[in-house]
């Protein structure tokens, strides 16, 4: 089926999911929209998150997408059920895939979750984990300093280490966890620093790989995969500063990308 996959995120974090989609589905075209102008979503009221998410969705629906990937954990937590009920296309979030992956990796069923204030307050990850295995013990922690740091382009070095260490200290002190879910798609951009702070004994889980696998499975089952032969042309939109978006995207995706700025959303 020659229609693109739509990916939405509050900023650059969803590029971690886009990268996996491009790797696992090399013939498929992506249209990515990052709402960098209004990022971060985590501290915003629920009603605002829902409004902004729908504005992004409506933008991509005009591009005739065949499946929607909500690559923002906060948006997934607050809008996934509604989107699935109201949209005529499949909608995939990042929370369930991340939870399943963590359960596969954990040996002692003691799992940590870090995310934005909104995601942590929603308790979406503890619910997802304990719906699968009620004996799992979950320690979750909001890390509100991570997203602004990533969006500004600080991904490593002394400043990044200091912020990550100070943010994760309450969780690190609970040294019984053996698995840590990066419950925000921005956080894999800080993965090496997070691993250094938490220690090699902690398995770090990001949901990108598992989410892309779920997209592939659903599109195969619904016969939505593109079966021709082509080099796909991906489109990336941002509502904010193109320069920062491009610099992070080119590093994370390891290739130049076509960024089409001026995504026309309703900006309040």
Burial environment of residue 157 by CB neighbours within 10 A (0 to 12, 13 to 18, 19 or more): exposed
Q: Known binder of ligand: residue 115?
A: no
From CA 39, how far away is CA 148, in angstroms rounded? 8
Is 72 an annotated catalytic residue? yes
Residues 89 and 110 in one domain: no
Could you tell me the two tokens for 182?
């990066």
Residues 85 and 14 in one domain: yes
From CA 55, how far away is CA 57, in angstroms rounded? 5
From CA 46, how far away is CA 30, in angstroms rounded? 28
82-92 pLDDT per residue, tens: 999 999 999 99
80-122 pLDDT per residue, tens: 999 999 999 999 999 999 999 999 999 999 999 999 999 999 9
With cut-offs at 50, 70 and 90, classify the pLDDT of residue 268.
very low
Q: Known binder of ligand: residue 41?
A: yes
Q: Known binder of ligand: residue 228?
A: no
- 132 within domain boundaries: yes
Q: What is the end-to-end Cα distance of the chain in Å, rounded?
A: 36
Number of domains in the chain: 2
Q: Which residue, of 162, 187, 207, is where some domain finishes? A: 207
Catalytic residue among 177, 184, 198, 257: 184
From CA 114, how far away is CA 96, in angstroms rounded? 15
User: For residue 53, what is the domain's CATH number?
Assistant: 3.40.50.1860
From CA 180, how far away is CA 223, in angstroms rounded? 35
From CA 261, how far away is CA 259, in angstroms rounded? 6
- 266 within domain boundaries: no
- 268 within domain boundaries: no
Are residues 89 and 58 in contact, defined by beta-carbon separation less than 8 angstroms? Answer: no
- 265 within domain boundaries: no
| pTM score, whole prediction | 0.89
Half-sphere exposure of 264 (CA within 13 A, CB side): 3
- 246 within domain boundaries: yes
Catalytic residue among 25, 57, 72, 265: 72
Q: Known binder of ligand: residue 76?
A: no
Q: Known binder of ligand: residue 11?
A: no
163-200 pLDDT per residue, tens: 999 999 998 876 689 999 999 988 998 999 999 999 99
Domain encompassing residue 235: 5-93+209-260
Q: Which residue, of 177, 192, 207, is where some domain finishes? A: 207
- 140's enclosing H/E stretch is strand 137-142
């Amino acid at each position: 089926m020659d229609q693109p996959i739509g990916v939405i995120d509050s900023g650059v974090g969803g590029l971690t999911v886009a990268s996996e989609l491009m790797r696992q589905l090399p013939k498929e075209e992506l249209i990515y929209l990052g709402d960098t102008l209004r990022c971060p979503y985590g501290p915003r009221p629920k009603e605002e998150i829902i409004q902004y998410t729908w504005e992004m969705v409506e933008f991509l629906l005009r591009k005739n997408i065949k499946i929607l990937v909500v690559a923002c954990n906060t948006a997934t937590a607050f809008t996934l059920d509604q989107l699935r009920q109201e949209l005529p296309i499949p909608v995939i979030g990042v929370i369930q895939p991340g939870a399943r992956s963590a359960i596969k990796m954990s040996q002692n069923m003691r799992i940590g979750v870090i995310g934005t204030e909104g995601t942590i307050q929603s308790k979406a990850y503890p619910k997802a984990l304990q719906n699968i295995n009620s004996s799992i013990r979950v320690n979750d922690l909001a890390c509100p300093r991570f997203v602004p740091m990533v969006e500004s382009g600080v991904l490593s070095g002394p400043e990044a280490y200091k912020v990550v260490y100070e943010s994760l200290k309450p969780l690190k002190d609970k040294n019984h966890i053996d698995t840590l879910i990066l419950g925000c798609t921005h956080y894999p951009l800080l993965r090496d620093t997070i691993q250094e702070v938490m220690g090699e004994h902690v398995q770090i889980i990001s949901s990108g790989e598992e989410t892309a696998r779920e997209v592939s499975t659903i599109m195969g089952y619904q016969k939505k995969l593109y079966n021709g032969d082509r080099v796909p042309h991906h489109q990336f939109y941002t509502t904010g500063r193109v320069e920062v978006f491009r610099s992070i995207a080119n590093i994370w995706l390891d290739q130049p990308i076509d960024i089409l700025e001026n995504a026309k959303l309703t900006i309040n």
